Amino acid sequence: MSFRERVVARERLLGTVIACPDLALAELAASRLDFLWIDLEHSPLTVRDVLGLSIAARAGGAATLVRLARADSEVLTALLDAGVDGVIAPRVESAAVARELAAAVRYPPDGTRGFAQRRASAFGLDRPAPRARPALEPPLCFVQIESRRAVEAADAIAATAGVDGLIVGPADLAGDLGIAQELSDDRLRAAMASVQRAARAAGIVSGLAAGGAPDDVAALLGEDMTLLAYSADVRLYADAMARASAGISRVWGGGIGGGRHPAAGRSRRRALQSRSSDD
């Protein structure tokens, strides 16, 4: 099954946000996940990075989704030509914006995307032009729901032709709702449930991009949401480094972090003092 077919079949699919350009780490992440969410909104990544990361993801067996900097991104066509499996537009608050995005990811007559023989079309080597194959599988089109206004417009956005799913960004949504960024907050969960209902009524999928305690994340996902972008590569790496440093410090008194680690600094000072007295 293709990734699109898995999405439509409502498989539970797990990914993480990619904010670093390292290809080996991306391939490693892809080997354990269903998709990589390459982030052009909150990272320094570029279109060139997306091309390499997409190849690394395929090598690891995962699909690639790219979060745009904005729904009307001028690099959208270049990203699609790089062969990504889908795009995610942040901060979509109306059906009109969703409609423009959905058209931009599809070739005529269903959309407005221009054609070029690039990686997405196997460089023209073994696939006919998309106009000769109307059934050519289009990239997935997801929109993020991250504000009160977006929640209120969720029914209309979900019903927009060409939109494949709604993905909630709970941190920004909580901020716009004026509540703490706590996944267990009842008001956030109520907004999430509203988005889930809108997606279900329109026959499309819904999902979540969040980190935090797995139990809290699972509670937000409920039974409906089938896409989860859990945490981010930099956050997972930071958490792993913190655990490693704390564990080594507990048993050895040193730790990762060099001179910035208080215990390591004290150990070195004691060693220097000892050598000075011996001399």
**CA-CA distance, 88 to 72, in Å (whole number)?**
11
Instruction: Return the closest-CA partner of residue 62 out of 110, 24, 105, 14.
Output: 14
Contact 201, 224 (CB under 8 A): no
Beta-carbon contacts of 151 under 8 Å, excluding residues fewer than 6 positions away, are 145, 173, 191, 194, 195
Q: How far apart are CA 7 and CA 153, in angstroms?
A: 23
As a whole number of angstroms, the distance between CA 76 and CA 55 comes to 18
Helix H or strand E segment including 59: helix 47-60
| Catalytic-residue membership of 42 | yes
Catalytic residue among 10, 32, 42, 270: 42
Six-digit token pair at 265? 């600094």
Residues carrying an active site annotation = 42
